[in-house]
Structure 1
């Protein structure tokens, strides 16, 4: 009985009920409670905010620029199929010193979006990329640079090169893991119950090639700890979608995605490349590429791929494919990847074509923009 009471209290506190709805809501809560015990142990026993459809991923420097954001909001208001935006924040932007957090930017964007009925998805970036000739933001808080945290991050290059490509976090270190978990705990307390805070996720699984050689067991610990972080995230965001971008390495995909399925974490990816060999790989006696996992998980966990800058330019990362139309990108994400959410990077050269597509009559009249809106089996229930 205590468990049932706790569930009912959690449901009521997460989604308040007005006096006029009280009698009807009692029945809903009773059905909700009884239903919980009919589901398997890995079903998330909380109603989860669920607003699938199309979202715009804004460029990093624009998120705190009033002029830039004003244009974004005008686009949102003029495009019903756009349900909200995704914003990326480096860990260092959110935790400015140990245990000291700055969520000013998130709070402001969330209030502005709520005022126009649109929603916010956050990605906490724990990996950075350094474009040639351009600076990148600081990845981790300065206190993580201490020996206790193995320096907090490591430099990596692309395979076959020693040129610096960016930094990834030292997640094999249990102290780094603990600090990342604490960040998500604090954010969960602040944002889980907010009706317009739609989701929170993490960047791609690709490790990078360490410039300084590492023992092989560090990678194993890295991915084990990443799964542990997601287990905690789901407990801190019981009413909110949590997301993980997955692309490489091939060797971990089956087991790693299997764990995401158990946890109820949404599967995302940093690219929609319909002809990319590594993502589509399906060879005998070799691990499959990540794209083959999407249709198998349709209706089980949320599926939420990202359309990045390069995806507008070619169907392959190396440029050896063809130049896709926005409609072709959309069709692949919808039909092959069975997407519930698509995050479209707001690349100024191509984004007008995205808006044209989303304002086509058949898409504009559908609240979900032509994407699957079925509540995933991993969730006990979905709340609009």
Structure 2
């Protein structure tokens, strides 16, 4: 099975800048490359990039205009009314590698913990649709079968962003003018890979309506195949941050990008009426309130790529959106590799305990789901600490491992299985 895209070694090292007293070599390049992934997958669970400066700036007029545009959208009836929705809140482990050995190893590690419900696995759009309309879901089928064999469930993450140089974000047929090339380039400070000197990743060109329609076609096909599958707990989309574009998009293109993303979210919820749908959100600041407004109205859950305990921009822009979604739609933050080592983006080496991360997600972010990256960076080996926390006597023994298990009001009728 072809590995999914993940952060490069140098990118994943960003934000893990050690203080003078911290062991620098083990927290940066060498250990990241060796941390259960090697050259093809630098680290388990990495899936965020540093936002561009403009994405952190607030623009009240733009924010209000986009918010109003989402409120004005008519929503199709029946998105949540009376639907029975699979609802198994708790802890899930996020993997980058999906070869059978890695998936089986992760499942063995969590098999004895009933509060750890399964895995979040990433699937690159290009892999799922190698040719237009030709959907290849055999890898997903195999992963679901493995999870079911261990009594666990799967979150399917649809990746529309490539975090490594040389990896493509969208199918090859979209690399034409009809789709605006299918993707735009983002600077990720990556090392060269695949024999290329390029140091950029890609993000799907969702400002193009034809790209939007093809993504909706993909998630519609996924819904036909997996909505009724009790081993599929949910489907998720990667972060909203657009990244440092090689060629900046215009204001009109950016408006279209987030309007189209909102349409994709709504259409995917319609394709998965009995399944949790999550959109991971963080930036750009002006578009997030309007996007989350549409998500709440469409019963799409709020996820996130980072759980930082003391990040100024997330606390200012992103985390208040979790308050808005609380009790209405599912909430599912994730703990990324950087979150184990620092308390803010690009912060000094100051590892929080995994108990602190759990408490923050539980109490500040109101999490129903919590996705833990399977990160094994020496010397901290944080994922081993996560497993020890699951095993400890102090870990909550309720069904969701201390997370909020109440059925969100906008979701429908929550059931363990259909």
**TM-score, L = length of structure 1:** 0.82
Indicate how the Cα distance of structure 1 residues 136 and 241 shifts in structure 2: closer, same or farther if over 3 A, else same: farther
The structural deviation recorded for 1:67 is 2.4
CA contact (8 A) 2:186 2:203 kept: yes
Deviations 1:301-354 (A, max 9, x none): 100001111000100111247321111111110110010000001012211101
Q: What secondary structure, in the 3-state scheme, does the structure 1 residue paired with 2:98 have?
A: helix
Counterpart of 1:314 in structure 2 is 342
* Residue 104 of structure 2, aligned match among 70, 74, 89: 70
Supply the distance in 1 between the matched residues of 2:182 and 2:273 (Cα, whole angstroms): 28
Q: Which protein is richer in helix relative to its size?
A: 1
Counterpart of 2:83 in structure 1 is 46
* Residue 295 of structure 1, aligned match among 301, 320, 323: 323
Alignment of 1:52-131 (within 5 A): 52-59=89-96, 62-64=97-99, 66-130=100-164
* Residue 289 of structure 2, aligned match among 240, 245, 254: 254
Supply the distance in 1 between the matched residues of 2:247 and 2:95 (Cα, whole angstroms): 33
Counterpart of 1:31 in structure 2 is none
Counterpart of 1:353 in structure 2 is 385
Supply the distance in 2 between the matched residues of 1:42 and 1:234 (Cα, whole angstroms): 7
Kindly tell me the number of residue pairs found equivalent between the two proteins: 328
The structural deviation recorded for 1:57 is 0.4
> Once superposed, what is the RMSD of the aligned Cα atoms?
1.8
Supply the distance in 1 between the matched residues of 2:244 and 2:342 (Cα, whole angstroms): 25
Supply the distance in 2 between the matched residues of 1:350 and 1:320 (Cα, whole angstroms): 17
Alignment of 1:159-178 (within 5 A): 164-178=199-213
Alignment of 1:366-377 (within 5 A): 366-377=398-409
Unaligned runs of 5+ in 2: 1-76, 190-197
The structural deviation recorded for 1:361 is 2.8
The structural deviation recorded for 1:246 is 0.4
Q: What secondary structure, in the 3-state scheme, does the structure 1 residue paired with 2:331 have?
A: coil
The structural deviation recorded for 1:113 is 1.1
Task: Determine whether 1:245 maps to 2:275.
Answer: no
Supply the distance in 1 between the matched residues of 2:144 and 2:101 (Cα, whole angstroms): 17
The structural deviation recorded for 1:261 is 0.6
Supply the distance in 1 between the matched residues of 2:106 and 2:248 (Cα, whole angstroms): 43
Deviations 1:336-383 (A, max 9, x none): 001000000101221110111112234362210010100000122101
CA contact (8 A) 1:172 1:218 kept: yes
Supply the distance in 2 between the matched residues of 1:119 and 1:191 (Cα, whole angstroms): 12
Q: What secondary structure, in the 3-state scheme, does the structure 2 residue paired with 1:78 have?
A: coil
Supply the distance in 1 between the matched residues of 2:323 and 2:338 (Cα, whole angstroms): 23
Deviations 1:149-198 (A, max 9, x none): 11000002379xxx944211111111111110000111100000001110
Counterpart of 1:139 in structure 2 is 169
Counterpart of 2:21 in structure 1 is none
Which has the higher relative contact order, 1 or 2, with Cα contacts under 8 A spaced 6 or more apart? 2
Supply the distance in 1 between the matched residues of 2:242 and 2:216 (Cα, whole angstroms): 19
Supply the distance in 2 between the matched residues of 1:200 and 1:371 (Cα, whole angstroms): 19
The structural deviation recorded for 1:209 is 2.8
Unaligned runs of 5+ in 1: 1-39, 282-288
CA contact (8 A) 1:86 1:120 kept: yes
Q: What secondary structure, in the 3-state scheme, does the structure 2 residue paired with 1:122 have?
A: strand
Q: Higher mean Cα deviation, 313-322 or 330-339?
A: 313-322
